[in-house]
C-alpha cells in the first residue's frame, strides 16, 4: 500500500528536504525525574528548524526585516516514545514535508547517540505578512532556497 499525502502524490514522488542538527541535553533541560522536560522538545525542534533554514541562506531576522514575512507556529504535535537524559547527544532530523505555500510543514525525528527513537513531531508554520499580519503565500526568495520542489 502506498501512503498518499495532501497533494495526492505518494511519498516517493515528493522531494526530500532533510537536515540533521545535534543537540546536547543540558542539565537545566531535565526535570525532577531526570528526563528531558517535555516542553523542551519544542525548543529542540525550533533550534533545529532555524539551523536548517540558515543552511539554506534564510534567517528569521532577514525574512522579517528584508522580506516582510513572519512564520509563527500554527500547529505543534509531539509523540513521546522514549525519555532522553542529561548529557545525551540528540540528532534532531528536520524534514520539509511539502512545498511551502501559505503554510510550511516540518516533520521531526529525534534519536539519541545509541540510535534510540526519542520522539517524533510535526510543526506547521503560517506565512504571515509582517505589516498586515495577514496570511500570505511563501515569497519567491523563500521558495528558491528549496530547489528540490522545482521539479
Listed by start position, the domains of the chain span 19-150
Q: Residue 48: what pLDDT?
A: 98
Query: Computed from CA positions of residues 118, 145, 126, 104, in that sequence, does the dihedral angle turn out positive or negative?
Result: negative
Backbone angles phi, psi at 101, to 5 degrees: -140, -115
Q: What cell does 13 get?
A: 514522488
Reported pTM: 0.87
* Tens place of pLDDT per residue across the chain (151 aa): 333 333 444 444 556 899 999 999 999 999 999 999 999 999 999 999 999 999 999 998 888 888 899 999 999 999 999 999 999 999 999 999 999 999 999 999 999 999 999 999 999 999 999 999 999 999 999 999 999 988 6
- DSSP track, the chain: ---B-TTS-BGGGS--EEEEEEEEPPGGGB-TTSBBPTTHHHHHHHHHHHHHHHHTT--HHHHHHTS-EE--EEEEEEEE-S--BTT-EEEEEEEE-S--SSEEEEEEEEE-TT--EEEEEEEEEE-EETTT--B-PPPHHHHHT-GGGG-
Q: Residue 64: what pLDDT?
A: 86
Q: Which CATH class is domain 19-150?
A: alpha beta
Q: Residue 24: what pLDDT?
A: 98
Report the catalytic residues.
31
Amino acid at each position: 500500500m502506498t501512503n498518499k499525502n495532501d497533494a495526492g502524490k505518494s511519498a516517493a514522488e515528493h522531494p526530500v528536504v532533510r537536515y540533521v542538527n545535534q543537540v546536547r541535553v543540558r542539565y537545566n533541560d531535565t526535570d525532577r525525574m531526570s528526563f528531558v522536560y517535555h516542553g523542551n522538545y519544542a525548543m529542540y525542534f525550533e533550534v533545529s528548524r532555524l539551523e536548517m533554514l540558515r543552511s539554506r541562506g534564510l534567517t528569521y531576522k532577514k525574512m522579517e526585516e528584508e522580506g516582510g514575512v513572519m512564520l509563527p507556529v500554527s500547529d505543534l504535535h509531539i509523540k513521546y516514545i522514549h525519555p532522553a537524559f542529561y548529557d545525551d547527544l540528540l540528532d534532531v532530523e528536520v524534514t520539509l514535508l511539502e512545498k511551502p505555500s501559505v503554510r510550511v510543514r516540518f516533520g521531526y525525528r529525534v534519536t539519541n547517540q545509541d540510535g534510540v527513537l526519542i520522539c517524533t513531531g510535526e510543526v506547521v508554520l503560517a506565512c504571515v505578512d509582517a505589516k498586515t499580519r495577514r496570511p500570505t503565500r511563501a515569497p519567491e526568495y523563500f521558495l528558491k532556497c528549496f530547489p528540490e520542489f522545482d521539479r
